[in-house]
Amino acid sequence: MHTVISRPSGTRRESDSYAVTAEFYDILQADADEARVRRLYGREIARARSGVLDIGAGTGRVTMLALADSRAGVHAVEPARAMRTSLLTRLAALPREQRDRVTVHPLPLDEAALHAVADVAVCHNVVGCLPPAVRERLWPAIGRALTPGGALFVQLPPARLPARTVVRLLADKRVGEHVYGGRMTLSAAGYRIRARADYWVKGAGGVLREHTETFWMWPATRERLLGELAPHGFAPLPGHEDSELLAVTLRRHR
């Protein structure tokens, strides 16, 4: 299903991706992911001067860290309405000083027309969800949005297709009388990864409801992404040797 929304320049069709997942995203994944986000990007975000760009902000994990730990302005780019709803609910509860520093862009980055707004950009758990053709539009858009010498941090997607089906159980979480649970099943499908998310809510008498949402992922190695980024002025950024992370800087003279 798609919703038609209107904008001054006309109308566009808005994706309803994450319509199922948004409800379960934070309750099942926030704890582990918050620690990961702080470990991967915390130091650089705290040093941001001109701004932090959170590409594919989702429910706001990176955005919230940036608002808490830096004094810089924050641009949260999130095209999916369901994820953006959680993000804005979270921003609504912030003190005014923080809310005044964050702008939410409800579009894919390459349609958001952002120019030199940040010296730190983060793609956390995003690049694996983008087909190569969309990645090709993303890199120059990040180049335009960053100031020269700015840094981009990308959480690396899976390097290759899974050899066999992988099932990852998400830790149960109690909310009052109910227990929320979930499972991710990753399997190879041609050149893509099929990621099926199953969620359930249990009460004393058993399962109350179950939901499923399927995503597609595209594997890419660090070397391949570096090769894609280089023509757009990005070079490896030394000092960030983490197997999960790709760190690059935008050359000052291109």
Residues contributing to the site for ligand SAM (CB under 6 A): 17-18, 55-59, 61, 77-80, 83, 108-109, 124-126, 129-130, 134, 138
| Minimum separation from the CB atom of position 130 to ligand SAM (A) | 6
Residue whose CB is less far from ligand SAM, 3 or 96: 3
Ramachandran area for residue 194 (φ above 0: left; ψ -120 to 50: alpha; else beta): beta
Q: What distance in Å separates the CA atoms of residue 30 and residue 67, rounded to the nearest whole number?
A: 17
Residue of 113, 146, 136 lying closest to 220 (CA atoms): 136
Terminal CA-to-CA distance of the chain, rounded, Å?
Answer: 42
Q: What distance in Å separates the CA atoms of residue 15 and residue 226, rounded to the nearest whole number?
A: 29
CB-based contacts of 63, cutoff 8 Å, min separation 6: 52, 54, 57, 74, 76, 87, 91, 102
| Minimum separation from the CB atom of position 207 to ligand SAM (A) | 25
| Minimum separation from the CB atom of position 109 to ligand SAM (A) | 4
Residue whose CB is less far from ligand SAM, 125 or 202: 125
Residue 224: its H or E element: helix 222-229
| Minimum separation from the CB atom of position 8 to ligand SAM (A) | 21
Residue whose CB is less far from ligand SAM, 133 or 204: 133
**For the chain, give me the number of helices (H) and strands (E)?**
6, 13
| Minimum separation from the CB atom of position 96 to ligand SAM (A) | 25
Name the one residue in this structure whose structure tokens are 């040797």.
Answer: 241
Residue whose CB is less far from ligand SAM, 73 or 128: 128
Residue whose CB is less far from ligand SAM, 18 or 139: 18
